[in-house]
Structures are given as structure tokens and as C-alpha cells.
Structure 1
Amino acid sequence: MRLELTTIGDLRQIMAEEVAAAEQAVSGAVAEATGGLKDELRAQVTGAGLGTRLARTWRGQVWPKGEASLGAAGLVWSKAPLIIRGHAEGALIRARHATFLAIPTEAARAMRAGGRRLTPRLWEQRMGQPLRFVPGRAGRPALLVGENLRARSGRRGGYARASTTAMRTGHGLVSVVLFVLVPQVRLSKRLDVGGAAERWIARLEDRIVRRWN
């Protein structure tokens, strides 16, 4: 048997073009997978009811920057790794250097101070009065109650400190549960970070082949 091989065109040029196409395919597929994984993890966080602020802590980056490469790599990470890990693996959170953890109620969350989350100490500093401690009974948690408050009207809602006149007359004053006190909280597993990463890694080969073809 006799075989003959004939090349059409410049072989070196053909190979160079194939390498360039492969570099574009690999870099494009890695960028696509990196962005897809980041978006899926953000969707997991919001879907679990953990809010858009925590979701936006997921970031992605592809290397090398600004050029195609057969060795392209992507990284997805969170700027709040401890919080994410707690919701991905489950965690038992105990009060540190204190008897209780203070869990804010909806009323407390509506009374943000300067963009910060309201804590018992911050509330007392802001209002100039102490919270009232209500001991837990019959399996119910202890509470911290804000007193002498008035309900805000309008779209803003929430509660505010009562005026001097209202304090004298007692008209329109309310007591509001602001914090629930518990010795510990167990976070259930609500995120599947590892599973999402494995799914996007498994899709990478097909994405490279489609782009190269």
C-alpha cells in the first residue's frame, strides 16, 4: 500500500491558526463557566431567602486577563466566606462572651441606624433609654422590649421615639418586641456550593469543543 500526503497551504500557518482557535475556545468556555457558576451561586443565595446583599458577595475572575490561553483558569469566591460556609455546611452559632444571641425582629430590622443593622446596644444609644428584659418562660425565649415608642405613619413605617408630649400623656405609646434572645442558633444547610461547581466543571469540555468547532 502506498500513501501520499499533500498539504494545501502553509502547514505552519494552519497549525498556528488551530492553536489560536483552541486558545479562544478554552478562554471563552472558561469565562462562560466562571460567569455561569457565579450567577448560579448568587441565585442560590437569593432563592434561600438570604438576600441580594449576600448574593452579591460572590465574585468571579478569569486568568490570564485580556488574552486567550490554553491554560486559562477561572475562580469564583465569596467576600463573606464564613457566612456562606455556615449556610453551605450548616453550623451551630453560640453567643460569644455573652449569655444570649440577640436576634432582631422585623420591627428592629426596620429601624436601621445610619445604614447599620440595629443591635441592642446601638438601639439604647440611639433612643437614650434601656431595653426591657423579659425572661423566657415555659420553653419560650427571653425578649428585649422597646417601650414608649410611637408607630410611624406613611410608607416608611416602623417605630420612633415618642415626643415629650406623648410621654406625658401616654397617648399613642406602644411597647415593641425588638430582639429575641436565644443561647444558640443552628443554621441548616441551604446552599449547595460544591454541587454547583461540579456541574459547571462537567459542562466545560462540551463548551470548549463547541467553541472550537
Structure 2
Amino acid sequence: MKLASQRSSTSLADQLHATEGEIAADITQIMREETNGLKDDYRKQVRDAGMGNRLANTWRSETYPKGGRSLNPAGYVWSNAPAIIDAFAKGAYIRPVNGGKWLWIPTRNVPARRSGGAYASSVKRSNGTRMSPEEVELHFNAELQIVIEGNKGEAFIDVVSGLSGGYRRATAGRTQGRRGMAPRKAKPVLMFTLTRGVRMPRLYDLDGPAQQRAANVARRIRAKWG
């Protein structure tokens, strides 16, 4: 009788262990799918807001335990550009920093940085972004002319129109004409608008999708094992 009891107990323990493993595998898979789904929800929000794939793909996700299973798995979703995401999720108010009085917002007239460009600028930004005010002055070899009215302002610079589009330095050769070309008149062109601060629009909803995915996890577990 004692031997039979031991066999029955061992068999039951094995069954319970197997069932627990099956439940853990299902719950972990559900958590993994919903975590990945939440990441995709956030990426879609960024794309739908017109912010592009580069920012959208900063969203990442991971499910723990990695490569294993658990009755209590966890999902984690984060962005590699948290400051940008947070600003558009909260509708943050952006102010000048380091004692500055104005935010300088470039217009489409401001040239983009190019690889190989070497300006002695104290502002370091990546290629393809718009030049800073300091870089614009170096690029056109002229000073910005600032007009302030109340809490807003505008910054212009004297340039000439380029023969193939855009703007060029207002050199003596260009304004007086050279090599048989007609002279081009220098004119002030708006480069920056100045403002005391900017209220970022709320473009992203982080809480709504997270709550929905958490509800999905609970619902799917109940449907499978409830």
C-alpha cells in the first residue's frame, strides 16, 4: 500500500508540473504578443502623426523572462527618443535654455547641413537638419537682421537668388554681374521666426493603448484557463 501511494503521488506531481508549464507557456506567449502589439500601436501613432519611420522605430519592446516562460511574465515597451515622445504625449511647453530669450525656429529658406560642411559653429547638429543662426551667418557671410514686435520676432539676411534655386551670398560679383550674367539684386530673406516659447501639440496617447493591451492579456488568460 505504501509503494502504491508513492507512485500515485509522484504521478500527480508530474501532471501538476506539466500543467503548470503549459499554463506558463501560454501566459508568456500572450504577454509577448500583447507587448509587441503595444509597440506596434505606438509606432503607428508616430507614423499617423506624420513623424516618419525613423522616430516610429525608436519604440522597442521586450518580454521577460527572455527566451523562457513564467506564470508571472512582464512586458516592457520604451522609446530610444524619450524626450521627443514625452513632449508630444504631454503637449509640453518648450522654452529657451541657458539664459536665452528666444527660440529660433528655422524657415524653409534656411539651408540644410551637408556632409563635409565645416563651420566654426558652437552648435553641433547632424547633417540634413537646418543650420543654426550662427551657421547661417557663416554660410552667407552676413549678419542676421532681427525685427522684434512684442513677444515675437523675425530674422532676415541679405542674399541673392541662386541660378538653380535657393539663395547665395550677396557677393560683389553677383550683385554687379559677372561673366556676362545679369546682376542680381540683394534682398532680405526671412530665415528664422523668434518666439518666447512653443506649446507642442499632443499627438500621442500612451495610456489608452497600454490599458487596452493590459485588458487584452487578462481577457485572453481567462478565455484560455478561466
What TM-score does the superposition give when structure 1 sets the normalisation length? Answer: 0.77
Amino acid at match of 1:187: M
How far has the Cα of 1:184 moved from its partner? Answer: 1.2
- Equivalent residue letter for 1:17: A
1:146 equivalent in structure 2: 157
- Helix, strand or coil: the match of 1:25? helix
Task: Measure, in 2, the Cα distance between the counterparts of 1:45 and 1:129.
Answer: 39
Query: Deviation at 1:159?
Result: 4.3
* Cα distance in 2, alignment partners of residues 160 and 22 from structure 1: 69
Q: Equivalent residue of 1:82, what SS?
A: helix
Give the number of aligned pairs.
Answer: 199
| Distance in 2, Cα, partners of 1:51 & 1:176 | 29
Letter in 2 for 1:166: R
Q: Name the structure 2 match of 1:104.
A: 106
1:204 corresponds in structure 2 to 217
Q: CA deviation at 1:73?
A: 0.9
Could you say which structure has the greater relative contact order, defined with CA pairs below 8 angstroms and 6 or more residues apart?
Answer: 1
The equivalent of 1:179 in structure 2 is 192
Matched residue, 1:70: 71
Task: Check the 8 A contact 1:103/1:181 in 2, yes or no.
Answer: yes
Q: One-letter code of the match for 1:146? A: I
SS at match of 1:106: coil
Q: Is the 8 A contact 2:175 2:185 kept in 1?
A: no
Q: How does 1:96-175 map to 2 (within 5 A)?
A: 96=97, 97-108=99-110, 111-114=112-115, 115=127, 117=129, 118-136=131-149, 141-151=152-162, 153=164, 158-161=166-169, 165-169=173-177, 170-171=183-184, 175=188
1:84 offset after TM fit, Å?
1.8
Cα root mean square deviation, aligned: 2.9
Q: 1: distance between equivalents of 2:58 and 2:195?
A: 28
Tell me the residue number matched to 2:27: 26
Instruction: For residue 187 of structure 1, report the CA deviation from its aligned partner.
Output: 1.8
Equivalent position of 1:188 in the other structure: 201
Decide whether aligned partners of structure 1 residues 112 and 17 sit closer, same or farther in structure 2, where only a CA change above 3 A counts: same
**Shift in Å, 1:173:** 5.7
Q: Does the CA contact (< 8 Å) of 2:141 and 2:169 recur in 1?
A: no
Q: Residues 174 and 208 from structure 1, CA distance in 2 versus in 1: closer, same or farther, beyond 3 angstroms?
A: farther
| Bigger radius of gyration among the two | 2
Q: Percent identity?
A: 33
Q: 1:167 to 1:17 in 2, by over 3 A?
A: farther
The separation in 1 between residues aligned to 2:168 and 2:67, in whole angstroms, is 53
Which consecutive residues of structure 2, in runs of 5 or more, have no partner in the other structure? 1-7, 116-126, 178-182
Shift of 1:24: 1.6
Q: What is the one-letter code of the residue matched to 2:153? A: A
Deviation, 1:76, is 0.8
Deviations 1:162-181 (CA, angstroms, capped at 9, x unpaired):
67642433427664322111
Deviations 1:140-173 (Å, cap 9, x if unpaired)? Answer: x4212233243474xxx65455676424334276
Counterpart CA distance in 1 for 2:221 and 2:187 is 64
Q: Distance in 1 between matches of 2:71 and 2:163?
A: 61
